[in-house]
Structure 1
Amino acid sequence: MKAQLGRSALWRINLLVTLFFSAVALLCMAVLLRQASYDVARELKAAQTVVEYLKEVARNDPASLESQLTASLRHVRVHWLNGQTAPVADDDALDIWLGERLYPAAKQFSAPLHLADGRDVLISVDPQDEIDEVWDSLTQLLVLFGLALVLSLLVIRWAVGSGLRVLNELIGGLRQVSQGQLQVRLPLHSLHESKQLAEHFNQMVSTLEHVQADNRELTQALLALQEHERKHLALALHDDMGQYLSGIRAQLLLLRSMTQQNPAIATTLRGLEVNCQHMQESFRGLIRDLYPVVLERLQLGEAIELLVQQWQQTQGIACDLRMGSQLPLMDSAQQAHLYRLLQEALTNVARHSGASQVRVRLHRRGQRLALVVSDNGSGGAHNLRPGIGLRSMGERARCLGGQLRLRTRPGSGWLLRLSMPVS
């Protein structure tokens, strides 16, 4: 693409220069032909006097027109007709065309002259020498302009080449920046303007890189703080309120066993027990949303299996989970980010996809761990504006040092793929 841009710009410049040289060459040729027509007319007017003199001499002495005497005459030709009515023209088309413009044929020929010895001769003005001189001048002019054009194109190619190279490097750098690759830098050239352009571009990209790094650090810090607060709140609720609810429910069971003789009290206690059970289930769901407490007690694979099982029961959507037998060891922050990313992906499927089946794949391939979530839902436009959920998953993927990719097509569902490095 960059080479094509350079060729296109250089081709346009060469075309404009060639058209300019062609226009100037045509103008110079027109001026030269116009001036040549005046010069030829003046030369041949003088030659016409010689023709009249030769005619007078031929009438008096035909022998004076022998070829050895007339062959070296300039601008005058002697044609012995030998029964012909006009001389046979042996000039090519270009000479005829140029001769007509310089000195029309009607002025060249007059009536044949009948000599005393019985022969017929035609003595006329001959512009061929002048035509040859004009052709030589035109050829020299064209050669001069051709050499000038070639030299100009070579100089332009040399002069513009460095500028186009800088332009191509700038376009390539901007393309990489638009793709999020802020590590690109332009090389510094000897030309002052090119050097300034590269320095400003590198400074701009460096500033963007620093700003992006600061934003990433701030986002990671906010996510870490959020996870820490959620973890603290979830553990506090789980350890304190959860135990209280479990104790209340156990006491209700004990009271109901002690009041079997009074149906009204037993019914009331049974209702309290059901309400307490519902509150406990809602409480567990709230804790799960706040922080995956199961990661404190279970391995990552077991926690993901429990998450998928509970999500499947809650949403009523079939979910096919397949994991590798050996998942890599990760610290608690990485486990939390991966768990929450999968949780957010399943939540988006339940809310937006309209799917009836979901597949989850978690496998290690070499030094990378791949998480793939796909569904058979309605899909959507690939360039749709990401919401909070997608942005949150993207930030978690960056916290894991990985890349998050989304693929979709209307009627073909969504496919989410996370690829992250592991040790």
Structure 2
Amino acid sequence: MSALWRLNLLVALFFALVAMVCLAVLLRQASHDVQRELDAAAAVVAYLGEMAERDPATLRPELTDSLRHVRVRWLSPGQPATDGGDTLLTDWLGTWLYPAELAAPSELQLPGGERLQISVDPSDEVEEVRDSLLQLLALFGVALLLCLLAIRWAVRPGMRVLAELFGALVRIADGRLDTRLPPHRFAEARELAERFNHMAAALEDTRADNDRLTQALLALQERERTRLAQALHDDLGQYLAGIRARACLLRVQAEQPDAVRETAAHLEQHSLDLQNGFRTLVRDLYPVMLDHLELADAIGQLAEQWQSTQGIECELQLQGVLPPLSMEAKLHLYRMVQEALTNVARHARATRVRLQLRADRNGVRLLLRDDGHGLPPERLGVGLRSMVEHARCLGARLRMRHRPGHGWALYLNLPVEGAT
């Protein structure tokens, strides 16, 4: 059932309830009024009976025809008497207002064989009550019809807005994020359209950002594959080729101890360089130190290596004892610090970085601040988006502030439930 039909049904039920109450009050009042009228008519009937007994000649038909609520019948000799009933008194309304046991007429014998039948006649009063009931029902019917028409006229613009909104939502669900609602002259509909258009624009911007991020991630993936291929070919491959060449020399230098020792030294150096290259490559792919060190120690080691590599002072502050962290949470935090330091080295032109890791009963807080020229929020690259995704996976709140002339700052608040 639609909202309009439900509203119409509620209004109709309300009108029906009010009409029933009004009918009940009207019938109750009519019952009292009819009873008063009948009491007055009964007094008139009694008076006529006394007059007929004292002086029948004073009763003439022209004097009794205009009496209200009194029925006088002149019966000729041999004419059968009636029971005084009336069709108006046999239906439910007459039975309700006029009890049947009070309707028995009285009959007087007049000289000359004529008879006079006198009874109370409430038919006029019952007819008045019936007319009042019909008028009340007609009034309620007309009022209900006008009310339903007014409701339909009033809610039609709103229903049209809802239909437009439903159609727009269907188009949004189909991926047509350029869908917009037209402006409306009603304030509520206009605000609804503005909020929907703002939501659709935000979704469209988000999809565009996701498309750009996907393209950037694919490009980054290709660059990472190229870098790995170059590292394996140019560095590690060269070391392996050198080791192989030196091993071949050993076979021809077997009788030359000095040459063997020199070749062995070269083999040892190549093996060491190969091992360091593998360690660097593995550390870039996965921070294996997290398997053996606490997060604070791993971040401290990362800060030292970054400082020695980039030549930028990195001040590390560790406050409090970190709560037990899951491996996933430790990895996300480590990657965020690593990505933040990488962005500082690439874009900030900073000379000093302050890195603070603090733990309290509410969770873990991470602060990174540099003294470079900063990075505007609209220039969110892959690195910054990666930090946003890490924070989302942690269920943490991440804020990044660009302070022109005062560098760039990153704030992360990780609740206890997210850390564990």
* TM-score, with structure 1 as normaliser: 0.50
Query: Partner of 1:129: helix, strand, or coil?
Result: helix
Aligned equivalent of 2:83: 87
Aligned equivalent of 1:214: 209
In 2, Cα distance between the equivalents of 1:110 and 1:224? 111
Residues 75 and 127 in structure 1, CA contact (< 8 A), matched pair in contact too: yes
In 2, Cα distance between the equivalents of 1:65 and 1:101? 34
Find the partner of 1:51 among 41, 45, 56. 45
Aligned equivalent of 2:109: 114
In 2, Cα distance between the equivalents of 1:72 and 1:128? 14
In 1, Cα distance between the equivalents of 2:198 and 2:137? 51
Q: CA deviation at 1:120?
A: 3.7
In 2, Cα distance between the equivalents of 1:163 and 1:190? 11
Aligned equivalent of 2:16: 22
In 1, Cα distance between the equivalents of 2:150 and 2:57? 64
Q: Given the superposition, is the C-alpha separation of residues 92 and 50 from structure 1 closer, same or farther in structure 2, using an over 3 Å criterion?
A: closer
Aligned equivalent of 1:304: none
Residues 42 and 120 in structure 2, CA contact (< 8 A), matched pair in contact too: yes
Residues 58 and 65 in structure 1, CA contact (< 8 A), matched pair in contact too: no
Aligned equivalent of 1:332: none
Query: Partner of 1:117: helix, strand, or coil?
Result: helix
Aligned equivalent of 2:133: 138
Find the partner of 1:70 among 41, 45, 64. 64
In 2, Cα distance between the equivalents of 1:211 and 1:156? 41
Q: Which amino acid aligns with 1:104?
A: P
Aligned equivalent of 2:32: 38
Q: Which amino acid aligns with 1:91?
A: T
Q: Deviations along 1:236-272, whole A, 9 cap, x unmatched?
A: 999xx9xxxxxxxxxxxxxxxxxxxxxxxxxxxxxxx
Query: Partner of 1:182: helix, strand, or coil?
Result: coil
In 2, Cα distance between the equivalents of 1:88 and 1:34? 25
In 2, Cα distance between the equivalents of 1:31 and 1:126? 24
In 2, Cα distance between the equivalents of 1:105 and 1:69? 27
Query: Partner of 2:117: helix, strand, or coil?
Result: strand
In 2, Cα distance between the equivalents of 1:135 and 1:49? 25
Q: Deviations along 1:37-70, whole A, 9 cap, x unmatched?
A: 111111121111211222233343268353x543
Residues 186 and 198 in structure 1, CA contact (< 8 A), matched pair in contact too: yes
Question: Could you list the runs of 5+ residues in structure 2 that have no partner in the other structure?
Answer: 237-420
In 2, Cα distance between the equivalents of 1:42 and 1:118? 35
Aligned equivalent of 1:156: 151
Q: CA deviation at 1:83?
A: 5.3
Q: CA deviation at 1:29?
A: 0.8
Q: Deviations along 1:373-412, whole A, 9 cap, x unmatched?
A: xxxxxxxxxxxxxxxxxxxxxxxxxxxxxxxxxxxxxxxx
In 2, Cα distance between the equivalents of 1:225 and 1:62? 128
Q: CA deviation at 1:209?
A: 0.5
In 1, Cα distance between the equivalents of 2:40 and 2:58? 24
Q: Does 1:226 align with 2:214?
A: no
Aligned equivalent of 1:175: 170
Q: Which amino acid aligns with 1:51?
A: V
Query: Partner of 1:183: helix, strand, or coil?
Result: coil
Question: Could you list the runs of 5+ residues in structure 1 that have no partner in the other structure?
Answer: 242-423
Q: Which amino acid aligns with 1:108?
A: A
Q: Deviations along 1:61-105, whole A, 9 cap, x unmatched?
A: 268353x54333210112449554643644157x63212222212
Deviates more, 1:153-162 or 1:19-28: 153-162
Q: Which amino acid aligns with 1:99?
A: G
The 5 Å alignment of 1:13-412 reads 13-59=7-53, 60-61=55-56, 64-66=59-61, 68-79=62-73, 80=75, 84=80, 86-87=82-83, 89-91=85-87, 96-227=91-222, 230=225
Q: CA deviation at 1:201?
A: 1.1
Q: CA deviation at 1:128?
A: 0.7
